[in-house]
Amino acid sequence: MGKNIVLIGFMGTGKSSIGFRLAQRLRITFIDMDKEIEKITGMTVAEIFKRHGEVRFRSEEILLARKLSQSRDLVIATGGGVVLQEENITNLRQNGLVICLDAEPQDILRRVKRKAGLRPLLRKKNRVEDIEQMLAEREKYYTCADYRFNTSDKGLDDVVQEILRVVQDKI
């Protein structure tokens, strides 16, 4: 039985797509925290924010991170804001290797635009300066990672390969 791989990082850095492929390659289970919260609550993330506010979403994240910290052999794609609550990091680190995915602000903007509407926190932020500002505010939280990988200008499988090379003997 091995450690979990926990992917953190800003919105649009590829946590879900890379996490899914990484889990396939390692033949372990993939958990997408946003999707899991949607299953648990019966609402989309956007609906939770709209009807009940960010605080409710953050408390669902806390409960789920507590639960996941009891499991093993998972690849977990977190939501970009999971790091804002210290308890989550403590819990997810407990039996997990934390990997932060990074991307250039222009790439983040391009990627999130494709799925506009899914990310309530970016609803009114559609300039690269907005992304740069949020990234700067959050940088201090993302430094808790054991490893960081930049996903700009790379194919998903190339990033997966890079991650596998580094983590294979550590989980």
Residues forming the site for ligand S3P (CB under 6 A): 11, 15, 34, 45, 79-81, 119-121
Shortest separation between residue 1's beta carbon and ligand S3P, angstroms: 27
The 3-state DSSP class for residue 127 equals coil
Q: What is the rounded CA–CA span in Å between residue 168 and residue 171?
A: 6
Shortest distance (Å) from residue 119 CB to ligand S3P: 5
Residue 115 or 170: the one with the smaller Cβ distance to ligand S3P is 115
Distance in angstroms (rounded) separating the CA atoms of residues 148 and 69 = 21
What is the closest distance, in whole angstroms, from the C-beta atom of residue 71 to ligand S3P in the complex?
19
The Cα–Cα gap between 18 and 37 comes to: 19
Closest residue by Cα to residue 97 from 19, 32, 27, 3 = 3
CB of 27 to ligand S3P, least distance (A): 24
Q: Give the nearer residue to ligand S3P in terms of CB position, either 126 or 168.
A: 126
Helix (H) or strand (E) holding 30: strand 29-32
The residues that bridge with 148 in the sheet, in sequence order, are 100
Q: Which is nearer to ligand S3P, 103 or 160 (CB)?
A: 103
In whole angstroms, the minimum distance from the beta carbon of 102 to ligand S3P comes to: 13
The tokens describing 93, both together, are 């680190």
Looking at beta carbons only, is 81 or 105 nearer to ligand S3P?
A: 81
Q: Which is nearer to ligand S3P, 2 or 136 (CB)?
A: 136
137: DSSP letter = H
